[in-house]
Chain A
Amino acid sequence: MKERMTVALAGQPNSGKSTLFNLLTGARQHVANYPGVTVEKKTGYFSDGNRKHELVDLPGTYSLTSYSLEERVARDFILRSSPDAVLNIVDASNIKRSLYLTLQLLEMEAPLVVVLNMMDVAERRLMSIDVAGLGKHLGVPVLSTVCKKGEGPESIKSALRELDEQKAQTKFRMDYGTLEPFIKRLSDALAGVGDLAKRYPLRWLAAKLLENDSAAIELVREQNVSTLAVLQEACSLREEFEKQEGQSADRHMAFSRHRACAAIARNFISLPGTRKATLSDRADRLICHRVLGPVILLAILFALYQIAIVWGNDLAAMA
């Protein structure tokens, strides 16, 4: 086990990443930018016994494509800095959507620990989650926390300690159905190109090339050998698939991932039969009402005016 680990924190927006980051690192954090781009990079340290680990907060993203800067930054960090562990924060009350990112992190063969956050919200919505079953299915440690209440650091630290032993486990592998033979052919072709096989997970790279991902094409071009043939192969495989299935590979992959997420959610999460309207649903119904909404807004503004200006003035006059 390494004396000092680099741990990356990945998750979708609003999953509680920053709460966990602050909980683990306390005040010891450092804010800078990722090299060359204006995306904030927060790093901090936390100790486990007498070991000190570095924690890097990745930008919150729904996915890991190369369309947005944030997603590219998060992806590049995982690929190029190869962190010793990636903590994937998942909003437990919204697992189905969150797993979409988790599946992509698994495809990148990142050393993953899944942290189900906001378990209190999930419980309030009467959801029950088979945490152990989910962990077994994904082949990575899965733990549940409520970061807001300060729960989590100890179980996360012990999961990180055990991560080395977990490496042998077979991880969940996304099945892309009819696209699989295409991925296989392309990743075999990629294996012979420069040192790609040593640098990147080939299956992931092949899938990304079939998606026509510009940053993945760059990764191949960076090689010091001729890459024209393999990029042409990728292009013709992509066209062949589209002709065969009547659907582009990137859509096929995104839809397959969503179906996989839905299947996992069906197997490991049980929801109450009828969904109760949550507190924010009920509040929205009033505050966002076409007539009532503006009335409430005016009432709040009037109250603020009354307190700050009228009563404030009276107070000042008394003094």
Chain B
Amino acid sequence: MRLNEMSPGDIGQVRDMTAAGPLGQRLMDLGFYPGADVRVVRNAPLIDPVEIELDGYHVTLRHEEASWVEIEAV
């Protein structure tokens, strides 16, 4: 499953992060690495962006960006 396909309240663990270049670097720097815990907190009223709780802190991404993160449901 991909991170953008998760619904608010869903939890999972990052399995892989497939973006390359600046976006990939930024996502890695923000803490999307294999094994990190994620929980989708909520979507904005007009869908984008989505708020994610990542390893105990909050990160907000566009769905397009979230689609590069592969999730394993736990």
The answer to whether B35 touches A251 (Cβ under 8 A) is: no
Which residues in A have their C-beta under 8 angstroms from that of B28?
251, 254-255, 258
The answer to whether A63 touches B25 (Cβ under 8 A) is: yes
The answer to whether B56 touches A67 (Cβ under 8 A) is: no
State whether A94 and B29 are in contact (beta carbons under 8 Å apart), knowing that A255-B34, A262-B35, A288-B42 are contacts in the complex: no
Question: Per-residue CB proximity of B21-33 to A under 8 Å, as 1/0?
Answer: 0101110111101
Which residues in B have their C-beta under 8 angstroms from that of A67?
22, 25-26
User: Would you call the interface of chain B mostly helix, strand, loop, or mixed?
Assistant: mixed
User: Would you call the interface of chain A mostly helix, strand, loop, or mixed?
Assistant: helix
What's the tally of chain A residues with a CB closer than 8 Å to chain B? 23
State whether A251 and B24 are in contact (beta carbons under 8 Å apart), knowing that A94-B57, A96-B55 are contacts in the complex: yes
What's the tally of chain B residues with a CB closer than 8 Å to chain A? 20
Which residues in A have their C-beta under 8 angstroms from that of B36?
258
Closest A residue to B43 by beta carbon equals: A290
A67 to B57, CA, bound (A): 23
Interface: A97 (CB within 8 A): yes
The answer to whether A96 touches B56 (Cβ under 8 A) is: yes
Interface: A65 (CB within 8 A): yes
A290 to B41, CA, bound (A): 13
Which residues in A have their C-beta under 8 angstroms from that of B42?
288
Question: Per-residue CB proximity of A23-50 to B under 8 Å, as 1/0?
Answer: 0000000000000000000000000000
State whether A250 and B25 are in contact (beta carbons under 8 Å apart), knowing that A94-B56, A96-B56, A290-B45 are contacts in the complex: yes
Interface: A21 (CB within 8 A): no
Which residues in A have their C-beta under 8 angstroms from that of B17?
251
Known: A62-B30, A251-B17, A258-B28. 6 other contacts (CB 8 A): A67-B22, A67-B25, A97-B31, A254-B25, A255-B33, A262-B35
